Amino acid sequence: MQQLILIPASSANDMGMIDIDGLLAANDGVLFARDHRRLKSSLSRWVKKGLLVRILRGAYAHPHHGARATVLAVTGMISSGVIAGHSALALQLSDWPQPSVVEVCAPGKHLPQKGFHFLQRSIPQQYVSHHVMSPVLAAVDIADETSDALDLLMRQHRIEPTRYQAVLKAFPHRRGNRRRQKVVDRSMSRPWSKAEREYHDLFDRYHLKGWTANQKVFIAGRWVIPDAAFHKEQLAIEIDSFEHPTRRETFENDRLRHNALTQAGWTVLHFTWDMLNEPDMVIHTIKATLARLRRRQKITAQ
């Protein structure tokens, strides 16, 4: 590739002498002031004119730069920096929203900068890939504020909840660990949403036994995964959550799963978030259905 010849922009009307897009392309989308000292005044002027944005002090990119430029800016300015928390999840999970503030962990102290939150913390290399915290550690890290990432990883990536326990154990004595432990402990029953977590708590409070959650069932030549199931009695429980907008694909899969279960002789009960306000009704419905199914199985066995 032919080397790009940089012509210093020494005045406001010589900007046309430099191809800014070409300059960015030749530098992986990020310009570091230390590498372009002759352009120092031009970089500031281009920011004022909206041609560049400053990601970090000394690091510049296109106004519509992507996540990769942010990573490069962080790693270029903070060699030991690790993008963490919500920011790490947004870089690795397509369904995770991009936060307004980028969280960065680094061993030393760093001055505050707009759009960034720096934590003085060292992250072992086994939990880092390309300067980005692993999604499992990031999910556990934010479990003191939300369980959504834990549920998403189990639902979409089939992460075993025992990994959450191991990660939490690897980082003892952190502020918020008591809350994280409670959320991770609940993950052991494999809930895939907030609503499922609430129902699992309800089942435990009422000492409901014999159920599993989100375990595969092979029916009519295909695998289906009920939200919860009493396998011996062939009772499936579907928890219809309205936490997030329903995707058409999810809607279709839910109906296919329901039909497959009923065609195979399973009984399917549906519960909603609002029904949590009537816990006695929910438990009575499940127990009464279980009793009926057990009586039927007993009669069939005779």
Instruction: Give per-residue pLDDT as tens, 203-239.
Output: 999 999 999 999 999 987 889 999 999 999 999 999 9
Q: For all residues of the chain together, what is the average pLDDT?
A: 90
Beta bridge partners of 56: 59
Same domain as 61, residue 140: no
Q: What is the pLDDT of residue 262?
A: 87
Tokens, residue 295: 């009586």
- Kindly tell me the burial class for residue 83, based on how many C-beta atoms sit within 10 Å of its own C-beta (0-12, 13-18, 19 or more): buried
Q: What is the pTM of this model?
A: 0.85
Residues 67 and 82 in one domain: no
Counting every residue written for the chain, the total comes to 302
Q: Does the pLDDT value for residue 10 go beyond 90? A: no
How far, in Å, are 99, 148, 260, 288, 299 from residue 296 at the CA level? 53, 39, 21, 12, 5
Q: Of all residues in the chain, what percent are helix, strand and coil, respectively (each to 5)?
A: 45, 15, 35
| Identity at 86, one-letter amino acid code | H
CA distance 201 to 64: 44
Whether 229 and 137 map to the same domain: the answer is: no
Tell whether 72 and 140 lie within a shared domain: no
| Total domains, the chain | 3
Lookup: tokens for 111: 């001055």
The pLDDT of residue 249 = 62
What pLDDT shows up at residue 247?
61
Task: Provide Rg for the chain, Cα atoms.
Answer: 26
Distance between CA 141 and CA 184 in Å, rounded? 11
Q: What is the CATH number of the domain that holds 201?
A: 3.40.960.10
Query: Are both 165 and 143 inside the same structural domain?
Result: yes
Assess whether pLDDT exceeds 90 at residue 245.
Answer: no
- The percent of residues above 90 in pLDDT, for the chain, comes to 76
pLDDT tier, 243 (very low <50, low <70, confident <90, very high otherwise): low
pLDDT of 246 above 80: no
For position 118, what pLDDT does the model report? Answer: 96
Measured between alpha carbons, how far is residue 174 from residues 1, 169, 184, 207, 257 in Å? 49, 10, 15, 32, 42
104-143 pLDDT tens trace: 999 988 889 999 999 999 999 999 999 999 999 999 999 9
Domain extent at residue 71: 1-76
Does 200 share its domain with 179? Answer: no
73 pLDDT above the threshold of 90: yes
If one counts every other C-beta atom within 10 angstroms of the C-beta of residue 265, the result is 8
Q: How far apart are CA 184 and CA 88, in angstroms?
A: 19
Q: Does the pLDDT at position 165 exceed 80? A: yes
Verify that 93 and 103 share a domain, yes or no. Answer: yes
Query: pLDDT by residue (tens digit) across 23-70?
Result: 999 999 999 999 999 898 899 999 999 999 999 999 999 999 988 999
The last residue of one of the domains, among 159, 188, 217, is: 188
Instruction: Give the number of other Cβ atoms within 10 Å of residue 159's Cβ.
Output: 18
> Residues 204, 278: contact at Cβ < 8 Å?
no
pLDDT for the residue numbered 242: 60
pLDDT(184) > 90: yes
CA 255/CA 234 separation, integer angstroms: 18
State whether 68 and 126 are in the same domain. Answer: no
What six digits make up the tokens of 130? 């390309």
Q: How much is the average pLDDT of 245-255? A: 65
- Measured in whole angstroms, the distance separating CA 150 from the mean position of its chain's CA atoms is 7
Of 130, 162, 188, the residue at which a domain comes to its end is 188
- Residue 172 exposed, middle or buried by CB count within 10 Å (0-12, 13-18, 19+): exposed
CB 41 within 8 A of CB 84: no
Q: Is the pLDDT of residue 1 over 70?
A: no
Decide which of 256 and 106 is more confident. Answer: 106
| Of the candidates 256, 253, 260, the residue with the CA atom closest to the CA atom of residue 234 | 260
Q: Which residues contact 300 (CB under 8 A, 6 or more apart)?
A: none
Q: Are residues 173 and 238 in the same domain?
A: no
Q: Give the domain-ending residue among 166, 188, 210.
A: 188
Sheet holding 235-240, edge to edge: 212-213, 228-230, 235-240, 267-272
Work out the percent of the chain whose per-residue pLDDT is above 70.
91
Q: What pLDDT, on a 0 to 100 scale, did the predictor assign at position 259?
A: 83
Do both 20 and 121 map to the same domain? no
Q: Are residues 82 and 153 in the same domain?
A: yes
Angle at the Cα of 122 from the Cα atoms of 118 and 125, rounded to 5 degrees: 125
Residues 25 and 63 in one domain: yes
